[in-house]
Structure 1
Amino acid sequence: MGKLNVLQMVDLSWNQIRGSIPSIIGTFQSLNRLDLSNNIFVGHIPQSFSDLKGLEYLDLSYNRLSGTIPKSLEKLRYLNYLNFSFNKLSGEIPSGGPFVNFTDQSFLENGVLCGRSNFGVPPCKAHSKRKSNMAFHWLKYILPAIASTTILLGLILLWKQYHKRKASLPSSYEKSPLTEHKMVSYQELRLATNDFCGSNLIGVGSFGSVYKGLLSDGTVVAIKVLNLQMEGASKSFDAECKVLRTIRHRNLVKVITTCSSPEVRALVLQYMSNGSLEKWLYSHNYCLSILQRVSMLIDIASALEYLHHGQEETVVHCDVKPGNVLLDEDMVAHVADFGLAKILAKNKDATQTRTIGTVGYAAPEYGSTGTVSRSGDVYSFGIMLLEIMARKKPTDEMFAGGVTLRQWVNVSIPDNVLEVVDADLLSIEEGRDMYATESMLMSILEIGLRCSEVAAEDRMDIKDVVPKLKKIKLALQE
């Protein structure tokens, strides 16, 4: 990359690139746009960035960068977009040059920053500034050149892998319009929702409301506005931000940006035109086929497999249910609402929590001891699978007498499978061989039963669920 004399744009966002940012990037004199957001970069912001004289756009948000913001960046007179949010930066925010035009939206959720009041941080103390500058002065000479060279080689390899992977991405992934992660102000959210008009309200959750909005660039979004008066709302917002900054999967609802101000805390999310799976299950206007239901179960299980096994730190959703599964225009399912999610420390299989999931879906050990683990999500998935196939909520009044949804399905296998599945589902499958249909339905329900075993150690692992469901889907397509 060092030989690319007229390089104008570098976009390596939304990967899992780790290590320090190579200072050699500062030698790309023609660079006007640099986006390294949503990675796992650590260390300091290179001083060499101040040599990018023509830089107009710089996004380093959602990483793990520490140290101070180089004052030398004040020399970037053409810089009109800056985002250092969601890092671990500290010290004084520069106030000269292009920083005159930036606001608190460029520095959200960091360490102990200080500076001008419009940055949303406390004023700096003189001795803190000297101490910070002295520390940085020494650190900039200690950063090893060998490490930078190693990281650069890694970037080149990742760049090649990116192009190879891009060619094989599914169409629904490629056509996502949400590659830009710009900051959105509270005022724009008001305009986008017609001042949060009730006609734009599309849902109400545990900690706030969700509105449909139209941004100034024409992007249709879902805006989740938290009710800050509600106990736990701020923690819910922080939990979602912590999770959404590190994950990326075609079956997880994508976050475009956040808005955090004294007036509101909001998440701006990818808009799902077909609403929730719960709506499709219980509306008299819709009836999903077996193939559609299995496809959605594969989507949900794939998302959970990624959260549980697809990254360095395990993410446990803690509230898997049809209301938290949203459908896009192609009826692809996306898991949403990470307000209760927990990130498990490395080499740790469970943690304790006081937060409560949804009655009927929460695993027994979650409700009794507060134990949160991957198997708890698997239990919720199993209950949801049974619900999807039977079209019966686990809290349905028919289960008020002590018999649960799981027990009701369990006693009906294998002889009375057709009596527990959705009657409307059977009516639209009349053209199929009923014996083969009954056999496939039993296979699906058995997965749900194995996932929702009372004892956590008896449940399936979600990574074993996905291939079983895909095998059933192939049989349905024959």
Structure 2
Amino acid sequence: MGFSLPNLQELNLAYNTFRGTLPSSIINASKLYMIDLSVNSFTGSIPIAIGRLELLERLLLGKNYFTAEGSELDFLSSLTNCRKLRTLAFAYNPLQAFLPASVGNLSTSLQTFEAFGCGIKGIIPSGIGNLINLQRLALDMNELNGNIPTALGKLQNIGQLYLEDNRLQERIPQELCLLKNIEELYLSKNQLSGIIPPCLGDMSSLTWLFLDSNTFTSTIPLTLWNHKSLIVLNLSSNILIGNLPLSIGHSDSPLTGLDLSFNRLSGDIPSSIGGYQMLNKLSLAHNNLQGSIPESLGKLISLELLDLSQNNLSGVIPRSLETLRHLEYLNLSFNRLQGEIPSRGRFRNFTASSFMDNKDLCGEPKLAVLPCRSKQKESRTLSSLKYILPAIASIIGLVVAVYLLRKHRKHIRTNVEPPSVLKLTRISYYELVRATESFDESNLIGKGSYGSVFIGKLSDGVNVAVKVFDLLSEGAIKSFNVECEVLRNIRHRNLVRIISSCTNLDFRCLVMEYMSNGSLEQWLYSHNNQLSLVQRLQIMIDVASALEYLHHGLPTPIIHCDLKPSNVLIDEDMHARVCDFGISKIFGEEEFRLRTTTLGTIGYMSPGKALLIPCFFLLSSYSTANSTAYYGICRSVKYTHSFA
């Protein structure tokens, strides 16, 4: 090609299905100033000799199958001879190599550098700060690690900086705040930590800021709420703390998207948030927010998505939300809301999934809540309660037992420090390999039908239990999916909490709390362990409380289907935690009536005896002398839960 067309200046073959290698003879077309081979199926390496095309201004090789010959991208070093180069794009090629330090010697005329999705490894060379006229730098979706170089602060003309979906660590350097012309800053899905620099709010041109899916631990800087040009702010999936300030929501803000979900924010939602007139997406889910939902949310006339789920919000659902004509998605689940669910406007289209686990809500039957009663009926119901009071006598036995138990616990726990709280964090496969020493058998603490459980120590020193599913075992994937479905929506002190999960094409695991005292089976059938009467009573109550929650405390009942001593774990305070939901069933009313099949594994007892299970298996290993009194306590537990 190069010999036949020596005067060629432009070569544009983009968006075709060409394949094969790039002919090295192309360098003989020395007048070429533009090469565009984007979106084809070219293979092989990018010729190093391409740097001989000294007039080259635009080189576009994105979305092909080019590879690197060595460990570094050597063709970049050859391009340092192209002093007129303005655009360099080779994204979406499986290069799997390092950026050479010589990248800082590219032409200062370079304005666009796109290399995302190439599997580039190693650090970002600090010399990249020499490209002072760079306007767009895209290194996202690679395998870069180390720190964000402070030299990036020299790129005074840059407008878009994309570094998301890498493994960058440590803090955001203050030097980034020197980028006064930047409009889009993407640092999502890295391992960045520390505080969010307040000076980011002083970058007056900034319109898109994505810092989500990192481990920032600070409060949200007030400067961000006073920003005049920010359009989208995403700080989700971090460990941010503090309250939302009263200054949030100034009326001249152009903000259209705000995502603060999956953090540890607390306090009330300020009513001033209604000042964001252009907001169309608002997510505050999975925080510790409390108080009522402000009426002012009805002023967000452009709102399309509202997610306030998994908080501690109380009070009624504001009627003002009925006026939001564009609202397509609403999630208020897992709060403490009460009163009647609005029924006008877009509320006609919402289903029960928008209001789950708010026990005091009422409304239409399709929303899976209780029907709303008139005040007259409420008064009549309350007055009839006086006839039920005599039934309280049936729980006297249990009250006495609990009183004695608490008295004993108060005595033995006077000087005990509270257990540490597990941090909610994203855990990678490589972190799990390191924590379990490559899933070494010395760390194996349990083995079941669908996989194995290992103890592991995370980088912050916290011990966890890693349940790895054997994907070659029939039913393992189904068991994993069932556990995820169940565990994502249940929260109870007597259920083992899930910390995270990790999945890829050939690996599935759940990361859960580690129970230092093992299983109840070990305590019952080991000569080295002994349980006192008080401890056995506590375990009975813990297991029964967990079952009562699963059967009656959720909008859709969950049947464990495999309750047995080996699936009851004991924490460091000798409290029981039910685990292993691999064959659980999530049942509606019709399924309850139709289900007759017996489920479970060896040691399992049928659901009909569920509330008496802890009594039976604890009684079986206790002394005969105490059996009569102990069985009486069991009966008291049974009748108390039946009455409830």
TM-score norm. by structure 2 comes to 0.37
Greater RCO, CA 8 A, separation 6+: 1
Which structure features the higher share of helix residues? 1
Larger Rg belongs to:
2
TM-score norm. by structure 1 comes to 0.49
